[in-house]
Structure formats: structure tokens, C-alpha cells
Structure 1
């Protein structure tokens, strides 16, 4: 099976679908590399976005495009390439996900499902399903949206381990029938609930009705300020809307920990489809509104100082992302500048945060 796939990928190389140099080859995984210890979310330096993993997804593209209207899975072949070597090839099923993006996107986010019997799946820690964020539309700006949302996840990773890890991907979509041209776009994998729960030694809480001020005090306030940093109005803890709750096994930690996800509606990503709720009193997601609860001034100051301590890391993370074009990179940096102008100014903290926070 590997030999067949190697030949197929070699043909793609020759035809120019993949832009490797002539000296590059795709071969079997070297004997010195063991997939048993391969970490999908391996991170060498948190302020340097890692090189993307290369995925090939071969499927009936026409059937996939239609599947979002029928809520059906489509069979596909997934090939993972690491350092120009095929790590493995698997039979998978792909299913579009995300209610809004299924209706809005030509190529919506997808769920990759492995067979439960697949014991040598390197994504075993993720369960048998993977959430994959895709480019949505075949327009260059949408690929920039993907990179910006990916960076939002990485920024939150800098602040706390109680966050979803992500891994950048270079994805080659191949039509099995050869009727549609191959498409190469960036995307990213989001860590599963199962993996996160195991990593932080917790279990998920699926009960709605728990407000932000009944979650872990420190993490809840770090999260609220983060949502303000990226200008994200699209989250509600009590409704579990774009937030997961986890109860730590630690008996000294009673309140659940909130973990945010889905940042495409934020001002930092600034997608052309992001529209804030009218109830918030803003007309654009680029207008920040603090949605956290009011806390004692000294506690708020500690949280804001924590962000100031990480300021250089935030800027470095964005500046070090070579795949982000200059326009969108500058847009992110300017938006961050505006955040730090607020939190470094005591008067602006009172007018922009303390005056709009929710009363306990």
C-alpha cells in the first residue's frame, strides 16, 4: 500500500502539485523514527509557529461538497508526510461540521474519523475523531483567516495549559476521480476533549447554566481578558457556547475550569462574516467589549499585569509567523497595540473594562 501511495505522490511531485526541489524525495519513514512516540502537537518554541505537518486527503470531491447538505460522511484516504517521508496512510471518513460554516463555506471545517479498531493510529490520544479547521473558501484571504485563528489558539497556549493545543497543517486535497484539480491549503488540527481532559487531569462538565463567575477564579478571569484581547464577543459560559468546562481531579480545585475555542468571530481574526450580537451595542467585532465579571481592582490588576508580562511573547508569535502576509500581520499587531494601550493605562482600565464588566 505504501508503494502505491509513494508512486502516486511522486506523480504529484513531477506534475508540480507539490513544490519540492528535485533533490527532495518522499520515501518510507526512516527506521530511526517511531510513530509510537510521534507527538502531533510537538512544540519546540512556543513563540515560533511550528512547521506545518503535510497531509494528503484523497476523496470524491464532488461527493464531499454535497455531503454538507446531507450531513453524511465521505470515505477518504489520509496520508501523513513528515520531513518528506510518508509516516502512514489510513482509510478514514470525513464529515463537514459547524452549523454556520457548513452553510457559509464551500469547504467547511471537517471531522476526520478513524476506525475504532485502528490500534496503530498516531492520533489515538485524540480518540477516533479529529477536528480540522479548513480554509472555508478558495480565496486567499480565507487562508489568512485560518492562520490568524490558529495564532489566537497559540496565544492562549502561552497563558495557560488549560487550553486547546493546535497543529498547523499543509493539506493537499486530491479528487479520487481526477475530475477536479488538486487544492493545497493551510488548516489546523484542534486537540480533542479527551486529550485535553487527560492532559490536565480532569473530566468534562456538560452541564449548562454555570456562569463565568462560578468557574475557577484565576482561569476564568484570564479567559475573559483573553476574549477582550482578541475582541471575541461570540462566547457564553452558561450556555457552553464556544467554551468547554472541565472539573479538575484535584480535590482542592472545586470550581470547573473554562476552556475557550472557535475564534473566527473575533476582531483579531476579522473575518468578513463576523457580525456581533446587537445586544452588545457594537457594530463591528473590531470594537472591543469586556464580557467578564467585575472583580476587585487588585485582582484585575494582577490579571492585566500577567498579560503585560507576556506582551513580547504575543508580538513575537505573530511576527514569527512567516505564512501570514504583511497586511494581516500588521492588522493583528495594530489590534494588539490597542489592547495594551488600554490595560497599561489605569484610566482606560476604568472606562473600558471596569465600567462595562458584569456585576456579580
Structure 2
């Protein structure tokens, strides 16, 4: 009897131990708490010597949930267009080798987009916080989205003769291939997919969301600030990213296309294509039902921007929900503003 009891006790201990271990090894995107990282490299070298296929070598120090620090070798390059040309801190891609990422929270996420503030201004981090909020809001309303992880970044620019470290807010964005694998699909790169051929419900949710955050800087057809995810032969859905040029974020460098009839990024314009009105009414009600969750997400993210920024975000989102709540405004700003199928080839 004592031997049998001892065996059972060992099994229980092993089971609990394995369960605790599995639970404690959380992934990169399993936490909403900012990840603390340190980077050191030359911004001038990054700009001058990297491109879509060329990286510079560096190291990244990161802090685990237990507070311990670890170091991984990384490769960094620039990416993007507008912010690359107009910002002091260019948008980047960070890669690490499989062996480096093994048994760390980066396992399974070795290729990441890194977003930092545009300028060196003391208030620049507020816009990063607001852009991060936009990604969180899209997860609230959509079924298919990129994961993000907020960062507290200590950056040393080796071009600085004083060697001063700067503290920045930033975030990682999940890699295209990783999000595709997570949903069991495939990213269709460099292919023009007419938006009206995409799955109806997911596309309308996407279009409503873009109106919610005041974004006109996207195109499904030309995959501008959009990826296209094929789930199966008949199902294709949009995956938006880069939400900085929006009314919700409203950065100092914000600008809009002069050909679409609005003057500033805070002006809303529905850029989605017309779908079955009944479906659009259904998505309208679906998003209205998530209003409380949307503002809860604003509250949860408000620690990462100023109190005045939080107020501005709330007011801007309230204006969107006012459109949905009013039949007249809904008809005017969405049902009558949607683009016809004949406009599907335009930007």
C-alpha cells in the first residue's frame, strides 16, 4: 500500500510540475505587460547599409517575467516607406536565429516588425501608445488580426558621441508568416485581389474598423498597409497594419490623399465597397454590441499615453459610435458613401 501511494504521489507531483512549467513558459504575445528590451546600434549605419535583404548585426537584451535578463543575437534592417523617409527612428525588422530563440519567449516568433516613435520629441511616445491601441481595438472587432507586444525600449545610438541611452515606447508586430500559420492560412504577396472577392463579413468588419479609427491610408487591391490572408481556396480576408496615419493617432506628420475629398486625418471617410445592405446592418449591430469592450480597451491602454490623449481618443471613438447609432448618419456616412464595384480597380 505504501509503495502504491508513493507511486501515485510521484505521478501527481510530475503532473503538477509539468502543468506549471507549461503554464509558466508564456509566449511573446501572451501578455499585455510591456516587455523591457535594450538595443544598441548605429542609426546612420542602419539607414545606409540595410534594405529588404541586408541586415546589420546587434544584440538584444530582454527581461523575462521573473525579472531576469537574457541576451540574443539579432539582425536588424529598415523597412517601410513614409516613416523611413520622414522619421528619426526608422521602422525596423528584427530577426534572430532559431537556436537563439529556443526556450525563450521569442520561440516561434523570430522575425518581428519593430515600431518606435517617429521623432525624438518627449511626447512622441504618446502616438506610439495610440497606434498600439488601434491594434488592440482591431482585435476587439475582427476575427483575423496581427498580434502586438508593447515594449519599453532602452536604445543606445552609437552615433551619439556621449553614448547616452534613451527610453522609448515601442511595440513588436507579429510576422506575416506567423500570423498565417496561426490561422492555418497563407499570405498572398504581390497579388492584386479585388476587395469585392474577399470574404464578406471579415471585409465589412475591417471597413467599419477603418472608419472607426479614421484611416484612409490603405488599399486591399494594392496591398498598401494591408496583407491578404487566404484561409482556403474560397476564403480570403484582409489583415491591416500601420495605423499611424489615422484620426485616432493624429500624429504631427499626418497627411491624407488630396484626391479623396478630405483635408486632414481626423476627417472620416468610408472607403469600403458596397455589400449586401442586410450584412452591413448585421455588422453594424455586431460592433455596436462591442462598444463597452472598445472603451474598456481604451482604459486598459491609457497608461501608455497622456490623459489628454485618452480624452481625445474617447471623443473620437464616440463620434464613430454616434454614426452607428443614428439611422440617418449610418445611411449617409456608410451605406451611401460606400464605393461601387466599378471603383474596385481604384486606390
Q: TM-score, normalised by structure 1?
A: 0.82
Corresponding position of 2:322: 341
1:65 offset after TM fit, Å? Answer: 2.9
Matched, 1:297 2:277: yes
Once the two structures are superposed, what CA deviation does each residue of 1:143-169 show, in whole Å capped at 9, x if it has no partner?
A: 111010100000011122310010101
Asked if the contact 2:142–2:206 (Cα under 8 Å) also holds between the matched residues in 1, the reply is: no
Counterpart pick for 1:206 among 185, 189, 196? 189
The 2-side partners of 1:220 and 1:69 are apart by 39
The 2-side partners of 1:287 and 1:316 are apart by 24
- The within-5 A match list for 1:177-216 is 179-216=162-199
Counterpart pick for 1:166 among 135, 140, 148? 148
Corresponding position of 1:76: 58
SS of equivalent to 1:140: coil
Once the two structures are superposed, what CA deviation does each residue of 1:68-124 show, in whole Å capped at 9, x if it has no partner?
A: 134363322211102462252112122222221121111112211213553625423
Asked if the contact 1:53–1:80 (Cα under 8 Å) also holds between the matched residues in 2, the reply is: yes
Matched, 1:329 2:317: no
Counterpart pick for 1:316 among 264, 277, 296? 296
Counterpart pick for 1:38 among 21, 26, 30? 26
CA RMSD of aligned residues (A): 2.1
Corresponding position of 1:21: none
The 1-side partners of 2:33 and 2:92 are apart by 21
1:290 offset after TM fit, Å? Answer: 0.4
Aligned residues: 316
The unaligned stretches of length 5 or more in structure 1 are 1-31, 44-49
1:294 offset after TM fit, Å? Answer: 1.3
Once the two structures are superposed, what CA deviation does each residue of 1:45-88 show, in whole Å capped at 9, x if it has no partner?
A: xxxxx2201001133xxx32342134363322211102462252
Q: Over alpha carbons, which structure has the higher Rg?
A: 2
- The within-5 A match list for 1:33-182 is 37-43=25-31, 50-59=32-41, 63-71=42-50, 73-83=55-65, 85-115=67-97, 117-118=99-100, 120=102, 122-126=105-109, 128-175=110-157, 179-182=162-165
The 1-side partners of 2:157 and 2:280 are apart by 52
Counterpart pick for 1:307 among 287, 293, 298? 287
Comparing 190-199 with 177-186, which one deviates more in the overlay? Answer: 177-186
Asked if the contact 2:143–2:202 (Cα under 8 Å) also holds between the matched residues in 1, the reply is: no
Comparing 219-228 with 294-303, which one deviates more in the overlay? Answer: 294-303
The 1-side partners of 2:22 and 2:275 are apart by 49
Q: TM-score, normalised by structure 2?
A: 0.85
Asked if the contact 2:126–2:306 (Cα under 8 Å) also holds between the matched residues in 1, the reply is: yes
Cα gap change, 1:175/1:285 in structure 2, threshold over 3 Å: closer, same or farther? closer
The 2-side partners of 1:302 and 1:215 are apart by 17
Cα gap change, 1:117/1:319 in structure 2, threshold over 3 Å: closer, same or farther? closer
Counterpart pick for 2:264 among 276, 279, 284? 284
1:284 offset after TM fit, Å? Answer: 0.5
1:275 offset after TM fit, Å? Answer: 0.9
Counterpart pick for 1:256 among 220, 231, 236? 236
Asked if the contact 2:127–2:305 (Cα under 8 Å) also holds between the matched residues in 1, the reply is: no
SS of equivalent to 1:125: coil
Cα gap change, 1:354/1:34 in structure 2, threshold over 3 Å: closer, same or farther? closer
